[in-house]
Amino acid sequence: MSDEYTPPDEPLKIVHQDHELLLVDKPAGLLSVPGKGAHLADCLLSRIQAVFPDALLVHRLDRDTSGIMVFAMTPHAQRHLGLQFEKRQVKKAYVARVWGRVADREGTVDLPLIVDWPNRPKQHVCFENGKPAITDWKVLKYEEQATRVRLFPQTGRSHQLRVHMKEIGHPILGDPFYAEGEARNALRLMLHAESLRLRHPDGGKGLTFKAKCPF
At 90 the three-state DSSP class reads coil
**Is 62 assigned a catalytic role?**
yes
Region at 37 (left for phi over 0; alpha for psi -120 to 50; beta for the rest): left
**Backbone φ/ψ region at 152: left (φ over 0), alpha (ψ -120 to 50), beta:** beta
The span from the first CA to the last CA of the chain, in angstroms, equals 17
Do the beta carbons of residue 117 and residue 126 sit within 8 Å? no
171 neighbors 163 (Cβ within 8 angstroms): no
> 129-132: long-range contacts (C-beta < 8 A, 24 or more apart)?
131/155, 131/157
Q: Which residue out of 3, 25, 54, 62 is catalytically annotated?
A: 62
Which amino acids are annotated catalytic?
62
